[in-house]
Amino acid sequence: MTVHRTIAVATAAPYDVTVGENLLPEVVGAVPETATRVLVVTAAPLRRHVDNLKALLDARGFTVVIAEVPDAEEGKTAEVLAFCWQVLGKSDFTRSDVVIGFGGGAVTDLAGFVAATWLRGVGVIQVPTTLLAMVDAAVGGKTGINTAEGKNLVGAFHEPLAVFCDVRALDTLPHNELVPGLAEVVKCGFIRDQEILTLVEANLDGLRDAELDVVRPVLVELISRAIQVKADVVAADLKESFLREILNYGHTFAHAIEYTERYQWRHGAAVSVGMVFAAELAHLAGRLSEDGVERHRAILSGLGLPISYPGHRWDALLTAMKRDKKTRGDLLRFVILAGIGNPIRLEGPDPALVQGAYSAVSA
């Protein structure tokens, strides 16, 4: 049996992230007694699990409303957000009531934004069911939706009451959803906790092949360490000055890929390429050794993640990168590494370096 881990996120509104198994009773226990109604935002593939949660909430006397939204990025739209507001309004939700986000990263992003905007803020509990959501989307209080102009350009900071990462939810994930989530885990190793990289390198085959019965203890350790990295960062910097920006390592190029590909690429796959791009940029800028670049390529490719992107989309990618949240005016800003575990900001790099990094990942 997996041991429960609790990671404290010591922000101004502190909360705990629990990693373990069979956590639905603890989810119900986290709903404040002052609440009367609970909105569960979820996607259709998870309905059986949500019905189990609903039964437990019903037994506690809560009025439970379920908002079933489109899966993945298709659910992060203004239209879906308006649908959730409509459900809340028709159900007479008040400030003492609670939203639960039960699903992948898109669902937790959406549910958090629903909670942040209803009556200027109601409580939200996040129950991420994918690896990506556990180590990234559900922790840290960033919520939002996509627009035609880009990803996560509309959103709010809204910290959850609690987060519950039930590792048994990963057993039912398709391979092509589980493995891309490892990119965000590896990211935490590159920017801060190098033990993550060591653990991944020692277990590449089992992680790549998603042999959960074999690597489950390692996976719990990796999830907990990645969450701890994020918890430490957001506790020191909730609203994205440079410290929080280090969590976006690889994301400037990754978000450009996602936008250019109309969100048909999985986020973790795009982040994998984005980290290699950032590593190549750091190397060209004289900040990261060739060994550091090769370690990126070896770990990510060893997990079966992509490390290249077609070489005919540069203009579209550059336009998309200029919409990145880190950009100031027309000045591109990147998070790069001055050595493994030492993230720094690179502002307004020579365009030739940026295009050179792109050439390195498009070869």
Known binding residue 105? Answer is: yes
Q: Angle 288-290-296 (CA atoms, 0-180°, nearest 5)?
A: 80
Please indicate if the annotation marks 73 as binding a ligand.
Answer: yes
Q: How far apart are CA 116 and CA 222, in angstroms?
A: 30
Q: Is 75 annotated as a binding residue?
A: yes
Helix axes 194-202, 212-236, angle to 10 degrees: 170
| Residue 341 contacts residue 273 (beta carbons within 8 Å) | no
- CA end-to-end distance (rounded Å), the chain: 45
- C-alpha atoms less than 13 angstroms from C-alpha of 147 in its C-beta half-sphere: 8
Contacts of residue 88, defined as CB under 8 A and 6 or more positions apart, other chains included, come to 39, 114, 118
Q: Please state the separation of Cα 333 from the chain's center in Å.
A: 21
Judge whether 129 is annotated as a binding position.
yes
245 is in an annotated binding site: no
- 283 in a labelled binding site: no
Phi first, then psi, for residue 148 (nearest 5°) are -60, -25
Please tell me whether 94 is known to bind a ligand. Answer: no
Is 274 annotated to bind a ligand? Reply is no
Structure tokens that stand for 6 in this block: 């609790």
Collapse the DSSP code of 250 into the 3-class scheme (helix H, G, I; strand E, B; otherwise coil) and give the result.
coil
The pair of three-digit structure tokens given for residue 157, joined into one six-digit string: 């900071």
Answer yes or no: is 319 a known binding residue: no
**Is residue 151 marked as binding?**
yes
Active-site annotation, residues: 120, 142, 184, 230, 240, 244, 248, 251, 255, 267
Contact 72, 267 (CB under 8 A): no
Q: Is 72 annotated as a binding residue?
A: yes
130 has binding-site annotation = yes
| 158 known ligand binder | no
Which segments of 126-169 does DSSP mark as H helices, in order? 131-132
Q: Which residue has the tokens 């840290």?
A: 140
Residue 109 annotated as lining a ligand binding site: yes
Q: Output the known binding site for NAD(+).
A: 71-76, 105-109, 129-130, 142, 151
Q: Output the known binding site for Zn(2+).
A: 184, 251, 267
